[in-house]
Amino acid sequence: MIARGAGEIIMQHFAAPIPTTLKSSRTDIVTAADTEAEAYVVRELLARFPHHHIVGEEGGGQGAPAVSAPYHWFVDPIDGTVNFASKLPHFCTSIALATPDREPLLGVVFDPTRGELFTAVYGAGAFLNGQPIRVTQTAELIDAVVTSGFPYDKQTNPDNNLKEWTAFLTRIRGERRLGSAALDLSYVGAGRLDGYWEKDLKPWDVMAGMLIAREAGGTVTDYQGDSHPQRLDRGRYVASNGKLHHEMLQVLQSV
């Protein structure tokens, strides 16, 4: 299993000092573990599927050309790099297979710190370590625990999710910022969170997690209720158990 192999590489780095390099801003970082784990995943995928296109967060488009490939893979070697580099054990590897128009077919999210493997196949359900998972039954936002995240340009962009965060704060039981979009979505699927929203997510952040949340009975859309946010390179996502979706959209549209 390729995601487990990536997890082994990541955990070797996690046990040692973790030097970081800056990407788009002081808060956007990358480590040797990100690049090594991605190179490993891409190598393993291409050995099995040489005619597929692979989009990796660190390495960009690889493998067969996007225009001619029958399938596209989306790889986030470490989702939650800020946690990883801080030695905070909450991060994962996210791997998804999708159609060329970005409809997810297969999603794999592996948390190597807990040994938790979330998987989903389109139309065939979602699983945690092989056991079926299901979203919560929470029917009202005031009883809900939700999570979110903030974009890397939060220091300079006024549209940095603070208004949305504040709007939710007074309407819910608990609001969290866990630091891994793929795990946030998987946790909605696993019934550990009732909902999640975030802007500026890239396809590799979400493609696997959104399928896991949906196959577990959840709903994933953009802030307007459109169910294809992944068609944008930087999309806005709201995920819920379904029952809370309308209320979450109302909050997001109220700010």
- CA 89, CA 194: separation in Å to the nearest integer? 22
Looking at this protein, which amino acid is placed at residue 252?
A: L
- CA 104, CA 175: separation in Å to the nearest integer? 28
Helix axes 181-189, 203-215, angle to 10 degrees: 10
Which residue lies nearest ligand IPD, judged by its C-beta? 149
Q: Where are the alpha helices (DSSP H) in 30-112?
A: 32-48, 81-85
Pull the structure tokens for residue 245: 């979706």
Count Cβ atoms below 10 Å from residue 166 Cβ, excluding itself: 11
Pick the closest to residue 148 from 136, 165, 172, 135 (CA basis).
Answer: 165
Select 76 or 215, whichever has its Cβ closest to Ca ion: 76
205 to 244: interface string for ligand IPD, x by CB under 6 A: x---------------------------------------
Report the residue from 180, 219, 221, 240 that binds ligand IPD according to the rule CB under 6 A: 180
Is residue 248 classed as helix, strand or coil in its secondary structure? helix
Contact between 211 and 107 (Cβ < 8 Å): yes
Look at residue 179 and give the partner it binds from ligand IPD, Ca ion, none, a contact being a CB closer than 5 to 8 Å depending on partner kind: ligand IPD
The distance of closest approach from Cβ of residue 51 to ligand IPD in the complex, given in angstroms and rounded to an integer, is 27
The distance of closest approach from Cβ of residue 130 to Ca ion in the complex, given in angstroms and rounded to an integer, is 25
3-state helix, strand, coil in the chain (%, to 5): 30, 30, 40
Report the residue from 63, 107, 112, 179 that binds ligand IPD according to the rule CB under 6 A: 179
Report the residue from 80, 112, 191, 195 that binds ligand IPD according to the rule CB under 6 A: 80
The distance of closest approach from Cβ of residue 149 to ligand IPD in the complex, given in angstroms and rounded to an integer, is 3
Select 51 or 234, whichever has its Cβ closest to Ca ion: 234
Residues that bind Ca ion (CB under 5 A): 57, 76, 78-79, 205
Pull the structure tokens for residue 110: 């592996």
Look at residue 180 and give the partner it binds from ligand IPD, Ca ion, none, a contact being a CB closer than 5 to 8 Å depending on partner kind: ligand IPD
Does 7 bind ligand IPD (CB under 6 A)? Our answer is no
Looking at this protein, which amino acid is placed at residue 84?
A: F
Select 95 or 181, whichever has its Cβ closest to ligand IPD: 181
The distance of closest approach from Cβ of residue 80 to ligand IPD in the complex, given in angstroms and rounded to an integer, is 5
Interface residues with ligand IPD (CB under 6 A) are 76, 79-81, 149, 179-181, 198, 201, 205
